[in-house]
Amino acid sequence: MPPASIPQISPISLISLLYAMSMYAFYQQGFIGRATFITVAAVVLCFVVLFYCAFRFRLNARFGDQSLMLPQIIAALLIMLTVAYLERATQMALVPFVLIAFSFGIFRLSTASLILLLVGCLTAFLGIIVLHARAEGYGIEFRADLMQWFVLALTLPGMILVGKQIQNLHQLLKATRYQLEHYEEKSVRDELTGLYNRRQLQTELDRAKLQIDTLSIPFSICLIDIDRFKEINDNRGHLTGDTILKEFSRVARDSIRDTDILGRYGGDEFMLILPDTDLKGAVMHAERLRVYAHFLDFQKILPQKHISLSIGVAQYRQGEKINDLISRADAALYQAKQLGRNRVEWADAS
């Protein structure tokens, strides 16, 4: 969901409402007057409504940062700094709420924006302390305020630094996860064709066997061989052979169902695993694939312009070993070669 659709995650709403609640506690304890509390509550409500409307009516979509994070945090800081200036007693609440405000921006704002916010906030806070001291004197309260400012001046940069370190670690983790997924994908794919490799085909066969042994769902396999491919490689070169393999793989991948599994079994031989498919259905799939391959146009690289396929089909028998299934399909493929190629043969399912 785009940022424009999530006004409920507005930091100005959370920070300002929490701050207004703390001001109510100050009012109840007699630290600030009724008028001050009502004014703070009204200003907070206005900002909350303003940003809510910006998100609700998608006005934020006009800006580069649709979360409006920077203006929201600035608004929250302005409210707190203004109240701290008007009511000196509220300064004790300033530091924790400033830290909360910055915590929202650490992972969303640039380092430059955070530094500008940091400098602006600390400068404004120091100015408030000096103004209060000029009016009330430079006694113990002034020194206590300076210590409060000093603690904030140390804490904010440290928090930003830690946040950026966490952000960098998150980016590193994201990049590492991408690399692992990429390597995992490469480990199960044939580099030339992009189809599953032999190892992954074996995994898929074991999975299909487990399914049929437990749920009695049939599956069949097709062993597919490109006729006279060795002659093509020897006479026209390996680049021509690679082109044929890649083009056939593309057409074959586009012609099968989403549930079917196609892989390169080795050299010019491919395997098609057909879940929930009996022998008759598998033969129909194989015939369709044979026809599709025959109509591929290779006139630019082959004198005969076309290729043909020999395909052996076998249906899994309950309880048999995977190697026995492959052997039966391979025998059917050999028969198709012996009978003249460019045809589909199958092993008896019984």
Catalytic annotation, residues: 268
| 3 state SS of 140 | helix
d(CA 108, CA 10): 13
Cβ atoms of 72 and 51 within 8 Å: the answer is: yes
d(CA 255, CA 260): 10
What sign for the dihedral angle of Cα 215, 217, 218, 222? Answer: negative
Q: Phi and psi at residue 227, in whole multiples of 5°?
A: -65, 135
- Considering only CA atoms, which of 44, 19, 7 is closest in space to residue 100? 19
Burial of 29 (0-12, 13-18, 19+ CB in 10 A): exposed
DSSP assigned state of 189: B
Q: Phi and psi at residue 224, in whole multiples of 5°?
A: -120, 130
Angle between helices 111-136 and 69-86 (to 10 degrees): 10
Query: DSSP letter string over 329-343?
Result: HHHHHHHHHHTTSSS
- Considering only CA atoms, which of 65, 76, 104 is closest in space to residue 20? 76
CA 126 to centroid of chain Cα atoms: 44
